[in-house]
C-alpha cells in the first residue's frame, strides 16, 4: 500500500526554514510526541534548584536532571525552576524521573496552552500565563507560559524565558521566619501563583496610565492617533482576558480539589489569589467598557467636527452666493439696463449687500449656528 | 548566589516620593505583610467604642487597643469603630488580640478590595464599599472601603475616613426600645450594612437629578457638554456597579451561612438588605440602558442637525448657482450677442431668474425639504 | 459626646416642603419604622370587606380595622381590600391584629418595592406592580404597587390608589357557581394575580398600536418626532421590564413553595399565570429588539436623506461651476482676445455649454446618481 | 353595592364590531371560560378520525364528538384531528368526555400560547406553533397553533386552519409496515411533532433564498429597498425565535418525563426531534447575526457612497473656484489694469488656468482621491 | 378518501432535476428512511479496512460490507473507513450487520447534522465536522461531516469525500510501538477526533494570515475591498462556530459517560481534545471581537476621510468665495463707480485679496484645520 504524508512533510520543510512551529503544524503528530511548539527563545535552558526547609536553604544550578536524585531527602522541599524550553530532553528526563503523564509533558512544551489545572494521582499540573508590561509611548505586553508541577516534596516550574518574575519569591525565601519556609510545597505553589497574579496589577496600572489621559484629551482634541491607541488597547484587552479569565475557574477547582497534595490551611491562601483574579477580571471588563465608550465618544467628536466644518462652509456660501449673483447681474452687458445709469445705484447696492449679509447672519444666529 | 530585587526596591523608592502605594507595587511582598495600600487620608486614626445592652449604653474613645480588654464582659455588645487606616499597628493589635487570620488583616488595610464575605471559625469578615454623592454642577462620588468584623460579642468596623456615615446608627442606639439595643452583634452588623446600602439610594437620587433633565433637553438642544456628562455618568455607573454588584452574592451567602454567629431571626433582616441591593443594581442597569439610549439620541440629533445644515446649503447653492451662470453669460464680451441689444431682454431675464428660483423652491418643497 | 444627625434633619425639613419622601430620604431610619414612602395619593383610605363562601356573599366597607374581628368565622373567606396607604395606622393595626412581621408592614408602605414573595410561618406576602396604559397620542403608563397578604382564611390587598383594577374579581364573585366561590383564599390570591397580569396584555396592545404604524411610516418618511417616540417607548419598556420580570421568579417560587397555605390543586392555576408572565416578558424582549431595529432604520433613513441632498447639491454644483467659469473667461476685459470677435463664437459657446451639461449628466447617470 | 364592569362591556361591544378578540380583551374573564381567542378563520370545524393498528386502518369524518364513543376499543389507536376552533362546543365536549382540565381547554382555544408541555395524570398536553413560508418577492410566513393531547389510546390534535400540514402523516399511515402502525399513541405524537419541525427547515430554505442574494448584491449596489427587506427579515426572525425556542425546553422535559404514556423506546425519537430543533435555533441565531452584519455593511456602503459624492464635489469645486476667481479679476472694469493691455496676457492666463488645474489634480491624486 | 401528497411529489420531481436534496425536502419522509441528504460528491464509495493489534497490521479495500464478517476475530481492532455516502446501501448493510438504530443510519446520511454524541447500548455514535482551509487571495473553507461509530472492536468512520484528513492516522499506525497499536477502539476514536480538531488550528493560522495584515493596513489606507473581506470573515466565523462549539458539550459528555466502551485511561486523552476545542472556541471568540473592532475602525476611517475632504472643500470655498464676490463687484457696469477710476485701486485690491486669504488661513489654523 502506498501512503503519502503531506502534513508530516510540510512540518519538516518548515522547520528547516524557520524556527517557529505553529500549533497548526503539529496537527498530524501523535499526541505525546515532545516537540517544543511556540516562539523559540534563544536562551539556553537553565535549571535552578532551591532546596529548603525551616532550617536550611540551598540554592544551586545543575546541568542535568540526573543530578536531581542526589538532592532528594524527605525533610525539605525542592523547587526546580527551568528557564527555557528549547532543550526538550530536560522535560523528557523529568517526565521519566517523576513518572509524569506524556500529555502533561507535551503541554509543558507547547506554549499555546489555555490556563488550566489537571489533577493526577500524585501530582497537580498547572499552566498559567504571566503578563509583564512596559509602557514607553507604546504599550508592550509580554506573555509567558509558566507550567507548575506540584508534587508532595517538589515544585517544578517551566518558564519560556529567563526573566526575573520569580525574584521576589527567592527574596522571601531568604527570610527564615517567612511562612514559606515553614510550609509545604503547596504553599510554594501558592506563592508562585500569587507572584504571577500580582504582576497583572502592574499591567493594569500601565493601562490606567494610558486610558486616563486618553479619556481626558478626547473631547477637547480628538486626533487620528487615538484611534490607533484605542485599537491597540482593545486587542490587548482581548488577549489579556483570554490569558487571565480561565484562572477563575482554575482557582475554584483548586479550592474544591480533594487531594492530599493541598493542605486545608493553604486553601485559604488560594482563595486569596482567587479574589485577586476576580478583581483583575472585573477591571478588565470595566476597561473594556471604557474603551468602547471612548471609541463612541471619539466618533461623536468627529461628527461634531464635521458639523462645525459644515456650518462654516454653509455660512460662507450662503452669504456670498446671493451677493455674487447680484454683482453678476450688474456685470451683464445689456444695452438697456436703466439701473446702470442711476446716480446712486452703486452705493445703494452696497447697502443692499450689507443688508442681505446681516439678515442672513441674524437668521443663522436664530438657528443657533453662531 | 547573587539576587536582585527590582520590584522591592521600586516600592521603597516610590514610598519616599509619594504617599500612594498602588496595589501593583505590593506585588512581590509576602502575603500577610501589613502595609496600608490605597490613598492615605490625613486623618489620624480614631478608635470609638460603643458598649451597649438593653439597659446600658456607654460611648468613649480609646487611644490604644489594649484598653479594649478592660471593657470586656459577657453581657454587652461592643462595637469598635476605627476611622483611618494609616496606623497599621492598630490593625495588628486587633489581629493579635482577637486571633484574626493574617490574610484578613492584610485585606482590611488594602482598600482596593472587591466586596466579599469570608467565614472563619469564630468570626465573619465582610468588606463593602460605601458610596456617597454630592452634586453641584459636577457629580462627585466618594468611595470608602468599610471592613466589618463580626464576632460573638464584638463588631469591629474599619473605615478609611472619619466621615459621618454611621451617625444614624449612633442615633438609633440612644433609643433604649430600639430592636438594636435588644439584639446581638449580628443585628448590629445588619444595621451597619443597611445604613451603607441606604446611602446608595441617595446616590441614585443624585443620578436622577442629572439624567432626567439631560434626557428632556436632549432632543430640543443637544450641546457638546452633554457628551461630557454622558461620558462621566457612564464611568460612574461602571464604577458603582463594580462596587455594588458583588454585594448580591455576598448577601445570598450570608443568608445561607451555617454559623452560630448569625441568629435565624436576623437572617430575615439580611434578606431585606438583599432586596434593597437588588433594587439598586436593577436601577443601575436601567440607568445604563438609559445612558446608552441618550448617547444614541445625541448622535441622532447631531445627524439631524447636519442634515438641516446641508439642506440650507443645498437650497442656497442650487438656486443661485444656475442664476449666477446666466448672469455670467450676459457678462461676456462677445461682439456678436444679439440678446444684448434686445429692448426687453433685461426685464425678461429677471422674469426668468424669478421663474427658475420659484421652480426650484417648488421642487424642494415636493422633496419635503422646506 | 456630641452627635449630629444630618440625614434625619434633612428628612424633616423636606416633609414640610413636599409630600414626597423618596426612598433615599428614609436612609437612616430604623428598619421597621412605618412611614409611607412614595407619591402620596389624595385618596382617603377605604377598607372594603368581602366575605364569602359557597352559599353567602357579604360586601361592606368598614371604618376601622377593629371591626374586622367581629366578622371572623371559620366557614368563610374574608378579603380585605385597602385603597390608599396614607393612613399608616391601618397597616399598623392589621400588623398587630394578624401578627405580621414589621419588615412586611414597612414594605407594604414603601411603594418602591421590587416584586417579590416572602413566606412566613402562617402567611405569604406578595408584592406586585399593576400597570395600566392609556394611549391618546401620548403613551401614559400608570404603575401601582399592590401588596397581597395571603393567610389561611384571609386575603388582604393593599393598593396605592382607589382604581377599578379588581372590579372583574368582584363581578366573578357574584356568580355562586364560579370556582372562586368554592375555593379557598389561595384561589382568591391567584385570581387577583391573574387579574393584574391580564392588564399587562392590555398594555401590550397599546404598545402594538404605537409600534406598528411607527414601523410602517419609518422608511417612507422619517420625522424628528419619531425619535422622541422611540425614546419614550424605550424608557417605558425598561420600566415595564423592571416591574414584570421579577414575577417569573416569584411564580416559580410559589409553585415549589412547601406550605399548607397553597393547595396542590391551585398550583396549576399559578402555573397558568406563570405562562402568561413568560408570554409578556417574551413580548417585551421582542418589542425591545424591534425598537432597537427601528432606531437603526431611522438612522439609516437620515443617512439616506443626507445622501440624496448631497447628490442634488453635487449635480448642481458640478454642472454649473465649469460653465460659470467659462462664462467668466469671456467676461474678461483683455484687449487681445480673438474669440470675442469671431462671428459664431457665441452660438458655438452655447453648444459647448450644452455639451458639457449633457456629458456630466451622462457621467452621473453612469454613477447611478440619477 | 354598585359595581361597574367596564372590561366586560368593552369585550361585548367589540365582538359585535370585529371577529377579533385580542388576548387583552379577555382580561377580566374567569380562567376556564371557553372563548376562542385569536383570529377567527372562516373554516367550519371539521373532525377527522383515524383509527389504526397494525392490521386495520379506518378513516372518517364525524359531525359530533358523541360519535367518538362508539369507535372506542382497546386494540387500536384513535387520532382525532380537529380543523378550526370556531365551534367551542367541540372542545367543551372533548373536555367533558375525556376529563380534561379546564385550563387546558382554555389554552387550546386561545391561539396566543407560548409552546409548552403540561403533564397531567392521564394525559399530556402540548402546544406548538407550525410555521409555513411562501416566498414570491415578499416573504409570507403563516403561523398556526397546534395543540396535541396525548392519551393512552388517543391523540387529539387541534388546528386553527384546515391546511395540509399533516398530509405526510396520513400518507405514512397507509403503509402497513411503517413503524407508525406498529407503535402506540406516543409514537404518533412524535410523528406529528416531527412533521411540524420539518416544516421549519422549509422556512429556513426560504430565508436562505432571500439572504444569500441580498448579501451578494449588497456591496456592489446598495438600494433603499434592501433596508426594507432587512427590516422584514429581522421582524420575522424575532417572531420565529419566539415560536421555536421554547420547543427546546419542551423537548428536554419530554425526554425526562416520568410517565407511563411515553415508552422508553420512543424517547430516542423525541431526542431526534430535539436535535432538529437545536439545529433550527442555531440557524436562526446565525441568520440574525448575518442580518445584523448585512445592515452594518449597508450603512457602510451608504457612507462610502456619500464619501465618493463628496470627493467629486470637492474636486470640481476646488479646481474651478480659484479659476473662476481669476477670470473674475480680469472681468473687473478698473481703468488702470496694465495686464489687460498686454499682448500675450490672454494666452498666458490660459496656461495659468491649465497649470492650476493640473496642479490640483496631482495634489488630489497624492491624497488618493482619484 | 382522497389524499394528495404534495411534499412527496415535490421531492421526486426535484431529484430528477438536481442531485441536491435539501434537508427541507425531506420533511414528510418517515424518520428512518435512508436517503442521502446533502451535496452529492461524485466520489464512488470506497471502503477501506484497517485491522490491527500490537503485532499485526493489515490494510485493504473491500467492495461489499459482507466481506467484513470474514475479517472478524477477537484479538484485533478493525477500523472501517467509508469515503462517500452516495451508495446508501452500504450504510444500510452496516446497520443490519452491527444492529445500529435506524435513526443513527439516517443521521449518518444526512450531512446537515449538528455535532453530537449518542450513547447506545453497545456502541457510541459521534458526528463531527472537519474543516479544512485554503487561502490564496480568497479564503476557502471546506466542511465535511464525519460520523464515527465506536464499538467494542470496531471503529467505523463515514466521510462525505475521499480527502486525506486521516492520513496522519494511517501513518501513526505503521509504528508498532505507538500507543495506538497497543490500545483499544476507544483510543483509535480519540486519535481520529484529535486529528480532526488539529485541523482547526490550521484554519486558525489561515485566519491569522488574513486578519493581521488587514488590521495593520486599516488605519493607513482603508479600501472598499476590506469591507468585503470583513464580511467574508464574519460569515466564516459564524459558520465555524456553529460547527465547532457543540464539540465542547460533546467532549464533556464523553468524559462523564458511564460506558464500558471507553476505558478510564483513555478519558484523559479525550480531556486533552477538550482542551484543544476550548482553545479553538476561545480563539474564534476573540477573532470575532477583533473583526467587530476592525469594522468599527473601518467606519471611523471613512468618517475621518470624509472630514478631511470636507475641510479641503471648506477651505477652498471659504477663501475664494468672498474674493470672487469682490471681483464681481468691480465687474459691474455702473456708470458711477468712483473706485474704477482711482489710480491705485487695482493694486490695492490685490492687497485686500491677499489679506483676506491670509486672514482666513490663520483663522482655520486656529481652528486646527491645517
How far is C192 from chain B, CA to nearest CA, in Å? 24
Give B201-213 pLDDT, tens digit per residue: 999 988 988 888 8
Instruction: Judge whether residue D339 has pLDDT over 90.
Output: no
Chain D contact for C58, CB < 8 A? no
With a CB-CB cutoff of 8 Å, which residues 142-201 of chain A face chain B? 164, 167-168, 170-172, 174-175, 178-180, 191, 194-195, 198-199, 201
Q: What is the 3-state secondary structure (H, E, C) of chain E?
A: CCCCCHHHHHHHHHHHHCCCECHHHHCCCCCCCCCCEECCCCCCCEEEEEEECCCCEEEEEECCHHHHHHHCCCCCEEEEEEECCCCHHHHHHHHHHHCCCHHHHHHHHECCCCCEEEECCCCEEEEEEEEEEEEECEEEEEEEEEEEEECCCEEEEEECCCCCCCHHHHHHHHCCCCHHHHCCHHHHHHHHHHHHHHHHHHHHHHHHHHHHHHHHHHHHCCCHHHHHHHHHHHHHHHHHHHHHCHHHHHHHHHHHCCCCCCCHHHHHHHHHHHHHHHHHHHHHHHHHHHHHHHHHHHHHHHHHHHHHHHHHHHHHHHHHHHHHHHHHHCCCCCCCCHHHHCCCHHHHHHHHHHHHHHHHHHHHHHCCCC
Name which of B305, B316, B323 is nearest A307 (Cβ-Cβ).
B305
Pairing of strands C77-83, C46-52: antiparallel
Residue B19: per-residue pLDDT = 34
Name, in order, each residue with C-beta under 8 angstroms of E138's C-beta and a sequence gap of 6 or more: E232
Give C320-354 pLDDT, tens digit per residue: 999 999 999 999 988 888 888 888 899 999 999 99
- Higher pLDDT pick, B66 / D238: D238
Residue A312: per-residue pLDDT = 83
With a CB-CB cutoff of 8 Å, which residues 242-271 of chain A face chain E? 242
Over residues A169-189, the mean pLDDT reads 90
- Higher pLDDT pick, D305 / A321: A321
For residue C116, which of C287, C285, C13, C247 has the smallest C-alpha distance?
Answer: C247
CB of E319 within 8 A of CB of A316? no
Instruction: Judge whether residue E6 has pLDDT over 50.
Output: no
Mutate to test the interface with D, among E22, E24, E339 (most CBs of D within 10 A): E24
Name which of D198, D202, D275 is nearest E116 (Cβ-Cβ).
D275
Residue of B nearest to C9 (CA): B168
Mutate to test the interface with C, among D1, D225, D320, D335 (most CBs of C within 10 A): D320
CB of D250 within 8 A of CB of D126? yes
Average pLDDT taken over every residue of chain B: 84
Tell whether pTM > 0.90: no
For residue C268, which of C194, C198, C202, C201 has the smallest C-alpha distance?
Answer: C194
Name which of E201, E304, E334 is nearest A224 (Cβ-Cβ).
E304
Residue A130: per-residue pLDDT = 95
Mutate to test the interface with D, among E14, E143, E291, E316 (most CBs of D within 10 A): E316
Give C77-96 pLDDT, tens digit per residue: 999 999 988 888 889 989 99
Residue contact E278–A5, C-beta within 8 A: no
Residue A5: per-residue pLDDT = 36
Q: Give the rounded percent of residues in chain C with a pLDDT score beyond 90.
A: 41
Average pLDDT taken over every residue of chain A: 84
Average pLDDT taken over every residue of chain C: 84
Kindly list the distances between the CA atom of residue C213 and the CA atoms of C209, C229, C293, C294, E311, in Å, as whole numbers in the listed order: 7, 12, 14, 11, 41
CA distance D83 to D293: 41
Instruction: Judge whether residue B330 has pLDDT over 70.
Output: yes
- Higher pLDDT pick, E17 / B226: B226
DSSP 3-state assignment of C302? helix
User: B134: which strand partners?
Assistant: B140
Residue E32: per-residue pLDDT = 55
- Higher pLDDT pick, B134 / E85: E85
Give C106-153 pLDDT, tens digit per residue: 999 988 889 999 999 899 999 999 999 877 767 888 999 999 999 998
Average pLDDT taken over every residue of chain E: 84
Residue D3: per-residue pLDDT = 39
Give D169-224 pLDDT, tens digit per residue: 999 999 888 889 989 999 999 999 999 999 999 999 889 888 888 888 877 777 77
Instruction: Judge whether residue A277 has pLDDT over 80.
Output: yes
- Interior/surface letters C42-58, b for 16+ CB within 10 angstroms, e for the rest: eeebbbbbbbbeeeebe
With a CB-CB cutoff of 8 Å, which residues 18-57 of chain C face chain B? 22-24, 26-32
Phi, psi of D283 (to 5 degrees): -60, -45
Give A221-244 pLDDT, tens digit per residue: 777 788 888 888 988 999 999 999
Break chain A into its structural domains and give their ranges: 19-300, 330-366
Residue contact C201–D22, C-beta within 8 A: yes
CB of C160 within 8 A of CB of C84? yes
Kindly list the distances between the CA atom of residue E169 and the CA atoms of D250, E81, E144, E181, E193, in Å, as whole numbers in the listed order: 42, 12, 17, 11, 10
How far is E339 from chain D, CA to nearest CA, in Å? 8
Mutate to test the interface with A, among E174, E212, E333 (most CBs of A within 10 A): E333
Name which of C296, C303, C335 is nearest D302 (Cβ-Cβ).
C303
Name which of E164, E191, E198 is nearest A27 (Cβ-Cβ).
E198
User: Chains with 3 or more CB pairs closer than 8 angstroms to E?
Assistant: A, D
Residue of E nearest to A28 (CA): E168
Chain D contact for E327, CB < 8 A? yes
CA distance B350 to B102: 95
Residue B151: per-residue pLDDT = 93
Residue C12: per-residue pLDDT = 35
Name, in order, each residue with C-beta under 8 angstroms of D122's C-beta and a sequence gap of 6 or more: D99, D151, D152, D261
pLDDT-based confidence at A10, cuts 50/70/90?
very low
Residue of E nearest to D133 (CA): E24
Instruction: Judge whether residue E11 has pLDDT over 50.
Output: no
Kindly list the distances between the CA atom of residue C40 and the CA atoms of C85, C160, C166, E215, in Å, as whole numbers in the listed order: 8, 8, 21, 59
Residue of D nearest to C299 (CA): D299
Instruction: Judge whether residue E21 has pLDDT over 80.
Output: no
For chain D, what's the residue count? 370
Which chain E residues have a beta carbon less than 8 Å from that of D178?
A: 30
Residue C124: per-residue pLDDT = 94
Residue contact C114–B279, C-beta within 8 A: yes
Residue C169: per-residue pLDDT = 93
Alpha-carbon A274 to chain mean position: 20
Cell of residue C253, nine digits: 417560587
Give D118-172 pLDDT, tens digit per residue: 999 899 999 999 999 877 767 788 999 999 999 998 999 999 988 889 999 999 9
Residue B304: per-residue pLDDT = 80
For chain E, what's the residue count? 370
CA distance A20 to A39: 6
Instruction: Judge whether residue D76 has pLDDT over 60.
Output: yes
Chain B contact for A202, CB < 8 A? yes
In this predicted structure, which of A213-222, C16-25, E211-220 has the lowest mean pLDDT?
Answer: C16-25
Which chain E residues have a beta carbon less than 8 Å from that of D171?
A: 3, 5, 8, 28
Residue with cell 493601562: A207
Over residues C244-254, the mean pLDDT reads 92
Chain C contact for B212, CB < 8 A? no
Chain B contact for C14, CB < 8 A? no
Give CA torsion, residues E132, E136, E137, E140, to 10 deg: -20
- Higher pLDDT pick, C366 / B32: C366
How far is B281 from chain A, CA to nearest CA, in Å? 16
CA distance C160 to C146: 7
Residue A29: per-residue pLDDT = 56
User: Chains with 3 or more CB pairs closer than 8 angstroms to D?
Assistant: C, E
Pairing of strands D77-83, D154-159: parallel
Chain C contact for B311, CB < 8 A? yes
Residue contact D298–C300, C-beta within 8 A: yes
Residue E40: per-residue pLDDT = 62
Residue contact D337–C337, C-beta within 8 A: no
Cell of residue D360, nine digits: 490640483
Name which of E175, E180, E219 is nearest A228 (Cβ-Cβ).
E219
Give C227-240 pLDDT, tens digit per residue: 888 888 988 999 99
Residue E14: per-residue pLDDT = 35
CATH code that applies to domain E19-300: 3.30.460.20
Residue B105: per-residue pLDDT = 93
Which chain A residues have a beta carbon less than 8 Å from that of E167?
A: 3-7, 28
With a CB-CB cutoff of 8 Å, which residues 108-147 of chain B face chain A? 112-114, 116, 118
Instruction: Judge whether residue D12 has pLDDT over 70.
Output: no
Which chain A residues have a beta carbon less than 8 Å from that of B28?
A: 167-168, 171, 195, 198
Which chain A residues have a beta carbon less than 8 Å from that of E334?
A: 330, 339-340, 345-346, 349
In this predicted structure, which of A88-92, D164-168, E35-39 has the lowest mean pLDDT?
Answer: E35-39
Angle made by CA atoms D339, D341, D344, in degrees to the nearest 5: 75
CA distance B17 to E56: 76
User: Chains with 3 or more CB pairs closer than 8 angstroms to A?
Assistant: B, E
Which chain A residues have a beta carbon less than 8 Å from that of E324?
A: 320, 324
Residue B214, by phi and psi: left (phi above 0), alpha (psi -120 to 50) or beta? alpha
Give E80-108 pLDDT, tens digit per residue: 999 988 888 889 989 998 899 999 999 99
Residue A32: per-residue pLDDT = 55
Residue A43: per-residue pLDDT = 64
Sheet containing strand B46-52, strands side by side? B57-62, B46-52, B77-83, B154-159, B138-150, B124-136, B116-119
Residue A4: per-residue pLDDT = 38
Mutate to test the interface with B, among A163, A198, A271, A302 (most CBs of B within 10 A): A198
Residue A131: per-residue pLDDT = 94
Name which of C191, C328, C335 is nearest D327 (Cβ-Cβ).
C328
Over residues B73-94, the mean pLDDT reads 89
Residue C348: per-residue pLDDT = 92
Which chain D residues have a beta carbon less than 8 Å from that of E236?
A: none
Name which of E295, E299, E341 is nearest D335 (Cβ-Cβ).
E341
Burial grade of B291 (CB within 10 A; 0-12, 13-18, 19 or more): buried
Instruction: Judge whether residue B357 has pLDDT over 50.
Output: yes
First to last CA, chain B: 85
pLDDT-based confidence at A16, cuts 50/70/90?
very low
CA distance A266 to A260: 12
Amino acid at each position: 500500500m502506498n501512503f503519502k504524508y503531506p502534513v508530516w512533510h510540510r512540518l519538516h520543510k518548515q522547520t528547516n526554514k524557520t524556527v517557529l512551529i505553529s500549533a497548526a503544524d503539529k496537527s498530524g503528530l501523535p499526541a505525546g510526541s515532545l516537540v517544543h511548539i511556540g516562539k523559540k527563545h534563544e536562551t539556553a535552558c537553565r535549571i535552578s534548584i532551591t532546596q529548603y526547609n525551616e532550617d536550611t536553604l540551598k540554592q544551586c544550578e545543575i546541568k542535568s536532571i540526573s543530578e536531581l536524585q542526589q538532592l532528594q531527602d524527605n525533610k525539605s522541599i525542592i523547587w526546580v525552576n527551568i528557564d527555557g524550553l528549547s532543550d526538550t530532553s530536560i522535560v523528557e528526563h523529568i517526565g521519566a524521573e517523576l513518572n509524569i503523564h506524556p500529555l502533561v509533558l507535551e503541554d509543558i512544551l507547547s506554549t499555546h496552552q489555555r490556563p488550566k489545572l489537571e489533577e493526577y494521582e500524585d501530582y497537580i499540573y498547572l499552566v498559567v500565563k504571566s503578563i509583564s508590561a512596559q509602557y514607553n509611548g507604546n504599550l508592550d505586553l509580554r506573555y509567558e507560559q509558566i507550567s507548575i508541577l506540584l508534587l508532595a516534596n517538589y515544585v517544578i516550574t517551566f518558564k519560556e524565558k529567563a526573566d526575573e518574575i520569580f525574584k521576589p519569591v527567592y527574596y522571601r525565601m531568604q527570610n527564615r521566619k517567612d511562612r514559606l519556609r515553614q510550609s509545604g510545597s503547596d504553599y510554594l505553589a501558592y506563592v508562585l501563583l500569587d507572584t504571577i497574579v500580582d504582576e497583572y496589577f502592574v499591567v493594569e496600572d500601565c493601562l490606567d496610565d494610558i486610558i486616563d489621559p486618553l479619556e481626558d484629551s478626547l473631547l477637547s482634541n480628538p486626533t487620528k492617533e487615538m484611534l490607533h491607541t484605542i485599537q491597540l488597547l482593545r486587542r490587548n484587552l482581548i488577549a489579556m482576558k483570554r490569558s487571565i479569565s480561565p484562572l477563575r475557574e482554575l482557582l475554584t477547582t483548586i479550592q474544591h480539589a480533594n487531594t492530599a497534595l493541598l493542605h486545608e490551611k493553604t486553601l485559604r491562601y488560594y482563595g486569596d489569589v482567587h479574589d485577586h483574579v476576580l478583581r483583575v477580571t472585573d477591571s478588565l471588563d470595566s476597561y473594556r467598557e471604557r474603551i468602547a465608550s471612548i471609541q463612541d465618544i471619539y466618533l461623536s467628536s468627529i461628527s461634531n467636527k464635521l458639523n462645525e466644518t459644515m456650518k462654516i462652509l454653509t455660512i460662507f456660501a450662503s452669504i456670498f452666493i446671493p451677493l455674487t449673483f447680484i454683482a453678476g447681474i450688474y456685470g451683464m452687458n445689456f444695452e438697456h439696463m436703466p439701473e446702470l445709469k442711476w446716480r446712486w445705484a452703486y452705493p445703494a447696492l452696497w447697502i443692499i449687500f450689507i443688508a442681505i449679509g446681516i439678515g442672513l447672519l441674524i437668521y443663522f444666529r436664530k438657528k443657533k449656528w453662531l
